[in-house]
Amino acid sequence: MPPKEQITSSMKSDVFGEISLKIEDLCVDFLLSGGDLRAVYHLDFELPAHKMTGLVGESGSGKTTLTSAILRSVSTPGEITQGKIFFENQDVLKLSDEKLRRFRWNEIAMVFQAAQNSLNPSMTIQEQFAETIMAHRKNISNKEMMEISRKLLKQVKLEPERILRSYPHELSGGMKQRVMIAFAQLLDPPVLLLDEPTTALDVITQDYIFTLIKQMHDQTHNTMLLSTHDIAIVARVCDYMAVMYGGRIVEMGDIFTMFESPLHPYTQMLIKAAPSLVGELKERVAIPGSAPDLMKHHEGCIFADRCPYCYDRCQSEEPKLKVVGEEHLAACHRADIGKEGR
Amino acid sequence: MEKTAPIVELSHVEVNFKKKAGLFKKADYVNALHDINLSIYPGEVVVLVGESGSGKTTMANVIAGIVQPTSGKVFFKGTQVPKMNQEQREEYRSRIQMVQQDSYASLNPMRRMIKTLGDPLVIKKYSDKKNVEEKVSHFLNTVELTPPENFLQKYPHQLSGGQRQRMLIARAISMNPELLLADEPVSMIDVSLRVSVLNLLAILNQRDNIAITYITHDLATARYVGQNGRIAVMYLGQIVETGNLQEVLSNPQHPYLRALLAAVPIPDPRVARQPRETNIKTMEEIEEGIPHGCRFHNRCPYCKEICKEKKPVMEKHGFSMAACHRIAELPPFSLYQASRKEDNHEG
């Protein structure tokens, strides 16, 4: 394996400049007894390099399926049926098994949703760290390994000596989550996927973990994709925000653009629906209707039946994600009206 | 505030849970609630806020009579709960209803909605068998599950999370309650629908004068239900600050509440990215167990010697009652500083 420094991300995008990942026309299907469910639907996505991008969506919108598709680890009965995922100009979906094994964790690592279940309960943290490092780097010395582990644990404000000797059950939820964040960085991957890293944690612990993640990002400038249902967290830490709905990305752009002049009605309504500690209570309105049934075939726009601006074209023709401004994409036939203020 | 008789009154309530003895461990006690005094009046909204382990759910269970306090007294309409007669007990069981957090686990998956909602009505003689459908439809309308015919024959798995949560609310209000105990009712439903369920609770409170005890860890949602109500902030089994919700949130006294407020992310990048003071220790950085003196002292950035030795009592500070030795010396706190600056800038 060549040393890390020689690999340079050379992918460019017209919209976001340098990018780390490029996804084209990706479909992930779940083959269920009642029919096929397309959890990710002909999705195009570019992940800006060295930035933190928030992937926002409600439950069932396909966030987790998309992030696990990037690592080619969609859980059965899910299957990637179509599309391309480019990392350093190489299609991840075409990698051989051996190359894929080396690619995972080395190039792209992931912090999973339930940290409690991601650690092996019968091994100490040290053993688990060692196992992972050795699987990827044959010639590493024991001393070097310990050094990496200590450094990473210190970065997430844990005492290395104590933690390395511990079993997962001896740690609290917040500590385990921080161990997982350190774990994901063991091989110093250029891209990090974080899937709801703070669900089930207290507000203060959550705040603390995001402070750590932000500090880490400021130091390493790794590319990060943070998927969450909480847009307030994205507002706090991310540089870009992508909004998912019904297996599609409906809008993506710079964080300030997304919050101050969103063009997709779903984004606009989602921001209005989020409870907040500041601002007028009456301004907060829920989105009428409920999430789309992905077992059904949708003619036209997926959001049409909940959208207040829907017209005939929305019912018949599916809107494509297109450039609507500087570093700003939206999939809506009526995005132009949005600019003038609806 | 009207000084009518409270529906429920907790007086010096203490709850200890027994920890099982292990091979090398003696049986031990965990103190879940300590010296709780709280009255809930008719038509009132009380929001209980705290992190996990603060005792908020135990408190709901004590109010509902599911957990018996180790010491202290619980009164329902002036009668102490264990001393009730059959009739009073039945009244107590009906007038206080719970709305659970996990709507999937709290509905019987084998029963259609008409059974789930209808049977209690027949058993409690609020309706006879003939009219039960009409009666159930009425409650479904109240919780905005319309048209009701679409829902009567459904099983829980055929409903969405938001709809199931509404079913739970319908089930609770069908018993004609005076107090709804809503324990994290929106934490498991989609963000886009949360506000609508919170609004429904607020409507039930204002229109039907049902008192609501809203239990949550999320201060942002607390504002929606409790706009005109009271808040009680809990920490390690104690109430540390209480008062009118609006006043307390805009003028927090206790260092714990201040830390909680500062930790809540705000869905606006210009506000959320402002540097904030977060100097409180997380639960993991401190030793387990309940500390001496002020229970918060080992996480508190303002801790002094007195805090380690003496337990603070609830005293009036500004608009709230709070238990802290150091309130008078604390720096001023403003959560809205950042957003206000922005307003000035624009204007």
Mind listing the domains of chain B with CATH numbers? 8-235 (3.40.50.300), 255-346 (no CATH)
The pLDDT of residue B336 is: 55
- Chain B residue with the nearest C-alpha to that of A159: B285
* B335 has a pLDDT exceeding 70: no
User: Using 50, 70 and 90 to split pLDDT, how confident is the model at B330?
Assistant: confident
DSSP letter at B291? P
Pair of tokens at residue B150: 């679409």
Task: Flag whether pLDDT at B339 surpasses 50.
Answer: no
Q: Taking 50 as the threshold, does the pLDDT of residue A5 lie above it?
A: no
Task: Specify the pLDDT at position A314.
Answer: 92
Per-residue model confidence (pLDDT) at position B284: 67
Testing the interface with A: which of B54, B190, B223, B339 to mutate, by most A Cβ within 10 A? B190
Among A174, A229, A259, the residue with its CB nearest the CB of B191 is A229
Chain-wide mean pLDDT for chain A?
88
Mean pLDDT score of chain B: 87
pLDDT, tens digit (0-9, with 9 covering 90-100), for B257-273: 998 888 888 889 988 88
Model pLDDT, residue B272: 85
Q: Which CATH architecture has domain A13-107+189-341?
A: 3-Layer(aba) Sandwich (3.40)
Interface contact flag, A275 B221, Cβ < 8 Å? yes
Query: What pLDDT does residue B87 have?
Result: 92
Are A277 and B268 in contact (CB < 8 Å)?
no
Q: What is the DSSP annotation of A20-79?
A: EEEEEEEEEEEEETTEEEEEEEEEEEEEETTSEEEEE--TTSSHHHHHHHHTT-PPTTEE
Q: Tell me the ipTM for this assembly.
A: 0.81
Q: Residue B342: what pLDDT?
A: 41
Distance between alpha carbon B51 and the CA centroid of its chain, in Å?
A: 11
Which B-chain residues 81-110 have CB contacts (< 8 A) with chain A? none
Determine the pLDDT at residue A339: 65
* pLDDT at res. A1: 45
How far are the Cα atoms of A148, A155, A219, B141 from residue A211, in angstroms, in the given order? 21, 11, 13, 45
Mean pLDDT of B327-336: 78
In chain B, which among 193-252 make CB contacts under 8 A with chain A? 193-196, 198-199, 217-221, 223-224, 227, 249
Q: For the segment B171-201, what is each residue's pLDDT rounded down to a tens digit? A: 999 999 999 999 988 887 877 788 888 989 9
pLDDT digits over B18-49, tens only? Answer: 877 777 777 788 888 999 999 999 999 999 99
Query: Other C-beta atoms within 10 Å of A81: how many?
Result: 13
CB–CB of B192 and A204 under 8 A? no
CA distance A306 to A297: 16
What average pLDDT does the segment A87-111 reach?
91
Q: Which residue has the tokens 């068998």?
A: B129
Whole-number pLDDT of residue B60: 92
- If one compares B275 and A222, the residue with the highest pLDDT of the two is A222
Which residues 156-195 on chain A approach chain B with CB closer than 8 angstroms? Answer: 172, 174-175
Q: pLDDT for B44-53, tens place per residue?
A: 999 999 888 8
Look at strands B320-322 and B315-317 and give their pairing.
antiparallel
Q: What is the pLDDT of residues B75-120, one digit of tens each?
A: 999 999 989 999 999 999 999 999 988 888 899 999 999 999 999 9
Q: Please state the domain extents for chain A.
A: 13-107+189-341, 121-187
Q: Do B268 and A276 touch (CB under 8 A)?
A: yes
Tally of CB atoms within 10 A around A96:
9
Radius of gyration of chain A (CA): 21
Provide the pLDDT for residue A191: 94
Q: Is the pLDDT of residue B1 over 50?
A: no
